[in-house]
Structure 1
Amino acid sequence: MWYRAVAAGSFRRYATYRTATVAGVFTNTVFGFIVAYTYIALWTERPHLGGYGRPEALTFVWTAQALLAASALLYGGGIDELQERIRSGDIAVDLCRPADLQLWWLAADLGRAAFQLIGRGVVPLAVGALCFPLALPGDALTWLTFLFSVALGVVVGFALRYLVALASFWLLDGSGLALISGLACMFFSGMVLPLRAFPGALAEVAQLLPWAAILQVPVDVLIGTRTGGSLLRGLAFQAAWGVALLALGRLVQAAATRKVVVQGG
C-alpha cells in the first residue's frame, strides 16, 4: 500500500504539468519526423539494414519517440532530484522514513513512467502511424507483451540511473557522470540507430549490454522480430539485468548509508 501510494502520487504529480506535457508531445513528434526522413534516406540506400525493412525501421523511430520520456532515454526521469537531495544533504530525511530508499524511488519512477507513456507516448506513435507505413501488430497479445517489456525496460533504466545518482555520495558533482550515462543510454539503447544495424561485433556486444533492454528489446517485441523462444529470451534478458542492477544498487546503497553515518549525516 505504501509504495502504491508513492507511485500514484508520482503519477498525479507529473499529470499537473500540462503545459510541459503538451510541449513534450510536440517536440517528440517534430523530432520523430526529422529522424523518420533520415531513416527513409538511409533505408533507401540499404533496404535491409540490420534485418529491418523500411516499415520496421520507421516503427523503431516512432516507438523510440513514444518511449523517450517514459523510459528516460536521455537520463532525468526524476532521478536527478535524488542526486540533488544527496548533494544538499536532504537525503538524510529520506533515510529516516520508514521505507526502503530504493523501493521508494522505484515506485515514484514507475508512477512517472506510467504517466509519461500515456501523456507523451500515445500521440507521437499515433501521428507516426497516420503519416508513415508502420509495422504495428494487429493483435492484443503482442501489445500486452510489448507493454510488459516496456515495464521491464523502465526498471532496468531506473536501476542504471539509481546507481549514477548514488555516485553523488562520493562525488562533489554528479552531473558529469549523469551526462555520460545519458549519452551511453542514447547510443546503446538503439535510440540513435537500431543495435542490429551496428557493424560486426559491435552489434553483438551492444545487444548484450543493459541499455539494450530499455528500447531495443521492447521495439523488437512490438514489430514481431522476437517471437516464441526468442521472445522469452528477450524478456528473460531484461528481467536478469533488472534484478542484477537492482541488487547492485542495494549494495551501493548500503555502502553509501554507512558513509553518511560515518560523516554524521
Structure 2
Amino acid sequence: MDVDLRRLRYFVAVAEQLHFGRAADALHIAQPALSRQIRALEDDLGVALFLRDRRGTTLTPAGRQLLHDAGPLLAAAQAAVRRCVQAAAPTQRFTIAFMPGITVTAAVKTLTAQHPHLDIRLLRTSWDNQTEVVLDGRADVSIVRLPVDPQGLRIQPLFTEPRVVVIARDHPLAGKDALSLTDLAGAHLLQDPAAVPEWQAETRAPHANAPTAVPVAHSVEEKLELVATGAGFCVLPQSTASFYTRPDVVVRPAPGLADNEVALVWSKAHETPLVHAFGAAAHQLQP
C-alpha cells in the first residue's frame, strides 16, 4: 500500500490542531476539501483516524500511532528532496547546525582545511528544532544540547558544561552568590520544563508555591527579555549565558543543576564520509 504524502501532511495538521477548521486555515485549503482528503486516507488505510462528535475531534489509537510515525516519514521525504537538489549543485554543500552559545569555528576550520572546495554553511537552531534540521535534511549535522529524542539519530557526545540561573538584576534573589532549587521553587520557569527536570521535581515538593502563569519563551532573546522584566527566571548553559550578556540581568550558579551535555547528531539515513570527518573534528570543541 502506498501512502499519499500530501494526505499524510493534511492528517498531521488536523491531528496537531484537533480541529478541522483551524487545520484547513493553516493549510490554506477549504474545510470540505480537507475532510475529503482525510476520509480518503482513512479509506486507504482501512482504519478510522479521528473520532468526531459534538464535543470535538480526538485521535483514535490508530490515529495516535500514525501521528507518532508520520513525523519521521515526512521529514525523510523532505530530506530526500533537499539532498537530491544539493547533489545537482556544482559545489558540494555541507551544513552544520548549532545551538546558541556553542562556537564551532575550530571544527569548521579543520573541515575546511581537509576539504577546501566544500561549501560549508552554518545554521543556528533552538531547543525546538535542534534535531529536526538533520531529520528533514536542512543540515548534515547538528551540535545539540541533550536531552533529545534519539529516534532516527546517531549521537556522538562532545563535552559537558555547568548550567546557571539567570534572573533580573533587581530580583530579591539577585543578591545571593548562588541559588538553590528551593530558592526558585515559587518562581516561574521561562522555558520548556523538560529542559530542567530538577526544577520540575522541586516544584512538586510540598513547600513549593504555584508559579504565576507566564507564556513560555523559546529563543534565548525572548527568555532574557522576560527575565529582565521580572517575569521569572531561566536556566542556561554557562557558555550561552556568557555570550548573551546584558546589564539588567545577573547570572548565578545553582549547585542543584546537573551539567549540560553537548553532542553531535546526524541522521542514521545520512551517514557520509563528510559527516564522520566533521565528527572527528568536533572532538576539539570545548565550552
TM-score range, shorter chain: under 0.3
Report the TM-score, using the length of structure 1 for normalisation: 0.24
Report the TM-score, using the length of structure 2 for normalisation: 0.22
Higher Cα radius of gyration: 2
Relative to its length, the structure with more helix (as a share) is 1
Relative to its length, the structure with more strand (as a share) is 2
Larger RCO, structures 1/2 (Cα 8 Å, 6+ apart): 1
